[in-house]
Structure 1
Amino acid sequence: MSSLGKIVKVAVVQASPKIFNVEGTLDKIRGLCKDAASQGAKLVLFPEAFISCYPRGTTFGVRIGSRSPEGRELFRVYWESSVDVPGPVVDKLGVIARENGIHLVVGVVERDGGTLYCTALFFSDAGQFLGKHRKLMPTAAERLCWGFGDGSTLPVFKTELGKLGAAICWENYMPALRMAMYAKGVEIYCAPTADSRESWLSTMRHIAMEGRCFVLGCNQFLRKCDYPSNFPSDYDEETDDQFVICRGGSCIINPLGEILAGPNFEGEAILFAELDMGDIIRGKFDFDVTGHYSRPDVFQISVNEQQTRSVIFTGNSADPASPVVNPIKNTKKKSEETT
């Protein structure tokens, strides 16, 4: 059945995590999801890097040509509080989704070996882990602590709510990435971010109008008191515990660029909106950027969705990064997604 005749209630959570405290953050997610579900939300979105934190204001002790022992230790703490995918934290998030009967999208810091990635995790209302999107392009100093995603994690998932995808923070400024999302038919476009500027609202509205999709912009709201003592930052000299470090600005936008909820710059909140999925086709009547309003005879974009690895094992040698379950047949399952 098409999702385009449905009304879908969604929730965008604007909150602070428990920095470096995975279990504490999971408890907060659990409570916020319960609150959102009790008000009828069928999809709940959390901000970028909500587990364990977006490291705003820290340098990890890096200067051009040097790294400090203190910065290395801070990275170790950050790594320790990051998420294996799959792993126990993913399992617990799945339980939260299932217990509340919600589709769930959560921004996490994923660890893979010694590298961290800014990642969005997707869950069905049955608690199934649908898959992930790794941020393709960390911005500026984010590259001190996060690796680069590749084209193998650019999913748009078919769900009973609609086609669900995500782009993280300044990835949303990448036209080719947006076009890939539109070509996959994204209907509910999640945009977890760390950008709290007023101009970000213009970006969210532009994407909604360009893709004729619903856009859910989601940011943290952070005060100085949310930073633990073992988290050195630019705000160490700030004496006011209520000083706002990140002011949010979360919002929900319809396919014609109209604001359904937000932007909220006031504090922690859950934003709700009812999405009339029929608005997508109403909007595409006069603008379908990968359909009747495209010119493939003039412009074409190629998307490489292959997973990239720095070392590829061939012949009889087993790849240590991919333990062999069955030496005769590869039985690894692949998450269902649109292509």
Structure 2
Amino acid sequence: MSHTETEKDGGTSRDSLVIGAAQITPVWMDREATLHKVVQYIEGGGEEGCDLIAFGEALVPGYPFWLERTGGARFDAPDQKTWFSRYLDQAVSLEAGHLDPVCRAARKAGVAVYLGIVERPVDRGGHSLYCSMVYIDKQGEIGSVHRKLMPTYEERLVWSPGDGHGLKVHALGPFTVGGLNCWENWMPLPRAALYGLGEDLHVALWPGSLRNTNDITRFIAREGRSFVLSVSGMLEVSQIPQTVPHRDALVAEDSHEYFANGGSCLAAPDGSWVIPPQCHQEGLFCAEIHHDMVRGERQNFDAAGHYSRPDVTRLVVNRQRQSTLVFEDVDREAQRATE
């Protein structure tokens, strides 16, 4: 067998995983083309023996870079309406089956996937957007959809606040994996919720910037005594498609070569780098991680275990999916049958 194994219950079980950070450039504002690229990376990761591949925040169809560069806060501005209309059109609808090709690819490759999407959910009317983190298991089934709790700064102009429904973890080999979007990773209580669920492999999704991933990745690893995989996107100014509306205004306002320069990395439970931050290049960055390192680091600190004091401080988490509607229809046929 290609991975480290340990003796357990008289048999052999894996004590490691191969995980990969897919740091890629979306075909910005093009859902189908970007999903095609995602599928290709999943297929490639399967060939490399990956158990888990993660992609950056809002990768499909892309991060809303136009907001800070084109006066996104101007009220009732025609160009901002055009941007949003395009964004809404290219967003991901799970109900419409947009992620079906990704699920099929995950099942065929035998790879679990974390994918950052801009979600257009039917259960909120279908015309508002959420920054969502989707987990797809090795069988190609969607295990959770976490909508970002609080969009950051100008993101609130296009993304709506999410809820706690997706604060879940998933068993993956010897590990328990969970994750958060971008600056959610700075929020102590959502991190604590995942720790309490047994997380020991944390996935942090980012739009792409070394300044975001360089410090917090190792901090969370030390706090959680977990492996932490930070995954970023990439986007150069020259890669904004010519077909995007108001492209000239977007590009003219930016003096930098990159909108997003990457920064994907992987930290061990002791805070050391397994994969240091990778910038200015696309690629699938893989490493094998071993659960015995988690177990060793939990000896002196376990945030939700022996170093916690639930008699003093506890966290209450609301995991209801929020909606403006609660239907109380009465099934007349069922009612008559009981009369």
- Give the corresponding residue for 1:263: 277
Post-superposition shift, 1:317?
Answer: 8.8
- Poorly superposed stretches of 4+, deviation over 6 Å: 1-4
User: Structure 1 residues 229-238 or 6-15, which shifts more?
Assistant: 229-238
For residues 257 and 331 of structure 2, the distance between their equivalents in structure 1, rounded to whole angstroms, comes to: 56
After superposition, the Cα gap between the structure-2 partners of 1:232 and 1:164, relative to the gap in structure 1 and judged at 3 Å, is farther
TM, length-normalised to structure 2: 0.87
Q: What secondary structure, in the 3-state scheme, does the structure 2 residue paired with 1:310 have?
A: coil
Alpha carbons of 1:56 and 1:62: their partners in 2 closer, same or farther (altered >3 Å)? closer
Moved more, 2-11 or 191-200: 2-11
2:44 is the alignment partner of 1:30:
no
Aligned: 1:46 with 2:55: yes
Q: What is the DSSP-based 3-state SS (H/G/I as helix, E as strand, rest coil) of the residue aligned with 2:277?
A: strand
Is the 1:61–1:68 Cα contact (8 Å) retained in structure 2?
A: no
Unaligned runs of 5+ in 1: 319-325, 329-339
Higher mean C-alpha displacement, 97-106 vs 151-160: 151-160
Larger mean CA deviation between 134-143 and 96-105 belongs to 96-105
Select 2:110's aligned residue among 97, 101, 109.
101
Distance change in 2, residues 1:239/1:300 (3 Å): closer
Distance 1:28 1:226, change over 3 A: same
Q: Do the aligned partners of 2:39 and 2:101 also contact (CA within 8 Å) in 1?
A: no
Do 1:61 and 1:72's aligned partners in 2 also have CA atoms closer than 8 Å?
no
> What SS does the aligned partner of 2:67 have?
coil
TM-score (norm 1): 0.87
Moved more, 164-173 or 78-87: 78-87
Counterparts in 2 of 1:108 and 1:193: CA distance versus 1, 3 Å: same
Aligned length: 319
**Do the aligned residues in 1 keep the contact of 2:213 with 2:277 (CA within 8 Å)?**
no
Matches of 1:102 and 1:73, distance apart in 2: 37
Is 1:174 aligned with 2:184? no
Contact 1:4 1:278 in 2 (8 A): no
Could you tell me which amino acid in structure 1 is paired with residue 306 of structure 2? H
Greater share of helix? 2
Deviation at 1:61? 5.6
Hey, what's the Cα distance between the residues in 2 that align with 1:115 and 1:310? 13
Q: State the partner residue of 2:80.
A: 71
Query: Partners of 1:315 and 1:31 in 2: how far apart?
Result: 45
RMSD: 2.6
In structure 1, the partner of 2:234 is 221
d(CA) in 1 for partners of 2:72, 2:274: 42
CA distance in 1, matches of 2:200, 2:192: 13
Is 1:236 paired with 2:268? no
1:124 matched residue in structure 2:
137
Listed one character per residue, the Cα deviations across residues 300-335 of structure 1 (whole Å, up to 9, x for unaligned) are 2211122222232335399xxxxxxx989xxxxxxx
